[in-house]
C-alpha cells in the first residue's frame, strides 16, 4: 500500500510536466519560434495600421471642421470674393472626398498593402492641408 501512495503523486508530477509547452530545444523548436515571430509581427502590423487609421480619421475630421469654418467665412464675404472663394471651396471639397476615398481603401486593405498605400494617403492629406491654407490666405 505504501508503494502505491508514492506512485500516484509521482505519476501526477510526470503528467503535469509532460503537458507543458514545448521544450526550448529540439527539431520542432524552430517551427515554434517562427510561428511566434510571425504572430507577433502580424499583431504589431495591425496595431500600427489601427494607430495610423485613428490619426488619419482625426486629421480628416479636423479638415471637415476647418471647411465648415471656411464656408462660414465665404458666406460672410463680399459678393465679388464669393465667386472665387466658392470655386476654391468646391475644389477643397473634391480633394477632401478623394482623401476620404483613399482612406476607405486603406481601411479595407490587407496588412501588407496598407503600408504601401500610406505614402499616397499622406501625400493626398498634405496637398489638402496646403490647399486649405491657400484658401484661408484671403481672410488674413
CA 84 – CA 92 distance, rounded (Å):
13
Residue 4: pLDDT over 80: no
Residue 51: exposure state from Cβ atoms within 10 A (0-12, 13-18, ≥19): exposed
Instruction: Please say whether the beta carbons of 72 and 139 come within 8 A.
Output: no
Q: Quick one: cell of 84?
A: 472665387
Q: What is the pLDDT of residue 123?
A: 94
Report, as an integer, the average pLDDT of 54-77.
94
CA 106 – CA 98 distance, rounded (Å):
12
Reported as a pLDDT band with limits 50, 70 and 90, residue 32 is low
Reported as a pLDDT band with limits 50, 70 and 90, residue 27 is low
Render pLDDT for 87-103 as a digit per residue (tens, 0 to 9). 999 999 999 999 999 99
Q: What is the pTM of this model?
A: 0.69
The topology under which CATH files domain 52-140 is 1.20.5
Reported as a pLDDT band with limits 50, 70 and 90, residue 33 is confident
Report, as an integer, the average pLDDT of 121-139.
90
Nearest to 118 by CA among 134, 131, 102: 102
Cell 506512485 sits at which residue? 7
Q: What is the pLDDT of residue 7?
A: 42
Q: Which residues contact 52 (CB under 8 A, 6 or more apart)?
A: 106, 114, 118
Cβ neighbours, 10 Å, residue 96: 20
Residue 43: pLDDT over 90: no
Reported as a pLDDT band with limits 50, 70 and 90, residue 41 is confident
Q: Quick one: cell of 94?
A: 473634391
Q: Quick one: cell of 104?
A: 476607405
Calculate what percentage of the chain has a pLDDT beyond 90. Answer: 44
Report, as an integer, the average pLDDT of 121-135.
93
Amino acid at each position: 500500500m505504501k508503494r502505491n501512495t508514492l506512485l500516484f503523486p509521482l505519476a501526477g508530477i510526470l503528467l503535469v510536466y509532460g503537458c507543458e509547452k514545448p521544450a526550448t530545444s529540439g527539431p520542432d523548436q524552430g517551427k515554434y519560434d517562427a510561428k511566434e515571430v510571425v504572430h507577433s509581427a502580424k499583431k504589431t502590423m495591425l496595431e500600427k495600421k489601427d494607430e495610423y487609421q485613428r490619426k488619419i480619421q482625426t486629421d480628416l475630421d479636423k479638415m471637415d471642421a476647418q471647411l465648415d469654418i471656411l464656408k462660414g467665412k465665404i458666406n460672410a464675404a463680399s459678393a465679388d470674393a464669393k465667386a472665387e472663394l466658392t470655386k476654391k471651396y468646391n475644389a477643397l471639397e473634391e480633394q477632401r472626398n478623394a482623401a476620404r476615398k483613399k482612406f476607405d481603401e486603406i481601411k479595407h486593405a490587407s496588412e501588407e498593402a496598407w503600408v504601401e498605400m500610406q505614402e499616397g494617403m499622406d501625400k493626398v492629406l498634405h496637398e489638402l492641408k496646403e490647399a486649405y491654407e491657400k484658401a484661408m490666405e484671403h481672410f488674413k
